[in-house]
Structures are given as structure tokens and as C-alpha cells.
A and B are shown apart, each in its own frame.
Chain A
């Protein structure tokens, strides 16, 4: 049995694990509950995802009895040729953009810039080893669906962030199921820029973890051009080194962002 709490700085719930044959093994990762059972050439997976983002439960690979598994758990079984008792738990970023709002809209004056911190929900990917086949992907915390667009006809599907966009990192809650993104907005337009909401392109970002086991994405710089209608989003190589010391890459982006610069209409980023 391997149980720990979030206070344990060394606790990392992801990585490669061996699961005993026909033995149910349990994980609690924030609001996510996960049950794994290995059978010859087969994996049985049960899971429950909640919305309680404040849930800081952390239980890693605890062997439990079948009776301890709730009946209401969503279950699926996977037949995998070449699978052994080894499985990989890998954190991922959300599969849609994440929209965050500041508590009070931020007005960036012409020629000025502002840096805000935004949180994005984590997902968990399960891969059968050694064949490295993806079995399942589930959200660690179920974020609210939302719509990001100028009207109800045009726009895109997204998730709503659990936290407000904040300028002060210290005021961001340190939560197990969220990753942080530092966003710098540079206003090179001739007029002021009002930030009422911000869309983070999570599928195009990499995921990192720092020395203190805090999840980060690479930093973004949104540069509004002089015409005021377009924006270039520059992706840094990693999170800010001063705030996320000794960070290491743990998940590549879902979609390749190309040369590290995304060109978007300003409306598609700042609503």
C-alpha cells in the first residue's frame, strides 16, 4: 500500500506502476477516484470524476477489496495484446481551450502590458505497458462546459476555469488537479485593451512540473498588434524559471503548435 497526502511534497501520483494480477488497486487524485484491475491480456478500469476542485485527496496505488468499490462507478474493460501488469498514469492538459475571467475586467493601456495567472484542469491518461497503448483518458476534475465566441452562432467549445485570472501568483490556490499558466498581455495597439476573459489554448500547450510538484504549462505572451485586431501568441519553452524552479516536461501538447507562435484574431483569445 502506498498512501500519502497532498502535504507530502514528494508525492507524485503519475508514472509507471505494476498492478497485481486480479487485484483491485485504487488511486485518489484530487476529486478523481480510479480503480484498476489487471487480468491476463486485459485491464479493468473504473473511475469517478467529481467537480470538487478543493478536494486534495491523494492516495496512490492502494490495494483494496472488491467490496470497497462502489457500485455506481463507471467501468470499462480493455483487451490489449501484449499487455503485462504494468500501466502508465500520465497527466495531460485539457482537450479544449480553457476560459478564465478576472474578477474585475483589466484595462491595459496603449503601450502597456499586464501579467496574469490562469489555472487549467488536468486530465489523466492511462497507457498499457510495454505496448504503450492508450486505454483511457479522463478529467481529474470535471470543469464546466462553456462557449467562447462573439455570439451564440459562432465561437468554440471550451471549459470554464475553476479560478479567476489573477495578477498575483500568491493568491492562486495551490490545487492538485490544476495546472498554472502565466499569461502576459502586451498592448501594442493605439487604444486601451479591455480584458474581460481570456482563452488559454490548452491543447496546444505542454505540461511541466516544478521542484515543488506544482503543475505548470509553458508561459504565453499575447501581443496585440498595432492594428488592434490581430494577436500573436508566443509560447515560451517552459514555465517562468523564477516561479517554477527546476521544472521538467511531463506531457507534450495534444496538437502541435508549429513554430511556437499562434496567430489568432484578438476576439478568439480575449473574447
Chain B
């Protein structure tokens, strides 16, 4: 008989949803909703005086901590209003945490890594970084992942745990940056003349900093060339502009001075004094 279970359910609901219980439930939902609004407003007000362009992460961290603390307070109040015994709930929370820990291991790991990232601040929003072979601009540091916009306008999401484990390079951390260029010079090149030419190039480009002075490193006698590292400093914001300009200017200056970039060469020495016999094929088409 289908009437019987329905009747039992109806009776149970009537017993549970007494007018007092319904009032308590509505009250607890209202408290939770008010808590959401209050948490949002309080976190905004607390973070607002701290808001500076360089401290975006700190502001985010403070906002999140304040928001969730206030929300937790209102949630517990709402649960108490609904008639739940919080002592039992807190007791169950330990078991629940273990269960959740196993079920959402990756998410929790990313969550905790995200907190470490916000506290450690290896980079900020807007920084130019290389993480796990991905180079781009930091768009956001979220609970579970870091979002990067690559230069080809592709969005890359890297889990926080990966960011914490891997090497990160922040190119825009300091106000000045060094432009490194590897130059292969012909063995016939007068190295002092080449260095003088390079000095002239940086002296005539106002984006290359006067101080720290450009530096030269001799990198070695290689198979086909002498390798020279030439490094000039610039403001970080001018890095790519200067690097591009130096390529043009060095090439032009070397061309003008008769300094050549070498092509691969091989010197072959024969073991005997006899001239080598080079067969000539008559039937070659």
C-alpha cells in the first residue's frame, strides 16, 4: 500500500518541522546570509588602508583570513541557532578532517601551498615570471592555483603545489636588470677593438644604465669562435626594448668596424706530406 509510507513520512516531517524549528531554521539561514555580507564588508574595510600596488598579495591574504574568520563565527552562530549541538559537531570535525584529508588530498595540498605562497611572496600579481618552463605575467594567486598569462595570450593554470616545489624565476622583482648577450667573434678579431665598439654602443644608448657599468666576460675559445659575454644593465621595464635595440646596434657597429661573426670552419691537416688524392668522377651528371 503506497499510502502507508507517505503517511509515515508526512507524520515524521510534521513532527520535525514544528513552527519553532522552522523559525529557528529561518533564523539560522538569515544569520549565515548576514554573516556573508558582514564578512565581505569587514574584510574589505580592514584591507583597504593596506592597499598599495606592491602589496597585492598581502592584501589578498589579509582579506581572506578576515573573511573566513568572520564567516566561521557567523556559521557557528547559525548552527547553534538551528539547534545543533556544536560540541558533537566539533567532535565529529576531527573525523571529518581526516576523511576529507584523504578524499581531497590534492586540493588541500594546493590550498596550503597557496597560503605559503601568499605569505612567502616569491612574486606578486603583475610580475613577469618563469615557473615550470612557463614564462608570462602573473594574473592571480588563487586558493588552488596560480594563473599566468603567457606572451602569446594563453592562460596557464599551475597548481600551487607545483609552484611551491619547482624553481621560480621572477624577472621583475628588482628595479634594474641585466641584459646578457653572447657574442661569437672570429678568431681574427681584435678583441680590444670589439670591446671598445661595444662600449660605444652602450654609451650611445640612453636606456643602457651608466651605472652599473656594462661588463664583459670572456667565455672561452670555442670550435669556431671566441665567445664573449656582453652584459648591460637597464631599468627592468626597458629590458626587452634595450635587448632588441642592442642587437641592431651591435650588428651595425660591428659591420662598420669590419668585425665579423664567424661561420663554422674546419682546419684539416693530413698525416703525410703527400698531397691528397682527390678523385674526380667523370660520370657525374
Contact = CB atoms under 8 A, between A and B. Distances in A.
A97 B251 CA distance: 33
What bracket does the count of chain A residues touching chain B fall in?
10 to 19
Contacts of B233: 147, 152
Given A152-B174, A153-B174, A147 B211 contact: yes
Interface of B: 174-176, 203-204, 206-212, 233-235, 238
A34 interface: no
A156 B212 CA distance: 12
A53 to B, nearest CB: 12
B213 to A, nearest CB: 10
A99 B210 CA distance: 10
A226 interface: no
A81 interface: no
A155 B210 CA distance: 14
B211 A51 contact: no
A160 B211 contact: yes
Given A144-B203, A145-B234, A146-B211, 6 more contacts: A99-B211, A142-B206, A144-B210, A145-B206, A152-B174, A155-B175
Given A152-B174, A152-B176, A146 B209 contact: yes
8 contacts: A51-B206, A144-B208, A145-B238, A146-B209, A146-B211, A147-B233, A153-B174, A157-B235
Contact of A145 (B203, B204, B235): B235
Interface in A92-134: 99
Contacts of A148: 211
A169 B208 CA distance: 29
Closest 9 CB pairs of A and B: A160-B210, A146-B210, A144-B210, A146-B211, A144-B206, A142-B206, A146-B209, A147-B176, A153-B174
Nearest to B211: A146
Central interface residue in A146, A148, A155, A197, by most chain B CB within 10 Å: A146
A148 B176 CA distance: 11
A160 B202 CA distance: 13
B212 A152 contact: yes
A197 to B, nearest CB: 8
A143 interface: yes
Nearest to A139: B206
A143 B174 contact: no
B207 to A, nearest CB: 6
Contacts of A153: 174
Contact of B209 (A51, A142, A145, A197): A145
B207 A145 contact: yes
Contacts of B234: 145
B206 A157 contact: no
B209 A147 contact: yes
A142 B206 CA distance: 7
B19 to A, nearest CB: 68
Nearest to B238: A145
Contacts of B174: 152-153
Contacts of B208: 144-145
B212 A147 contact: yes
A143 B233 CA distance: 15
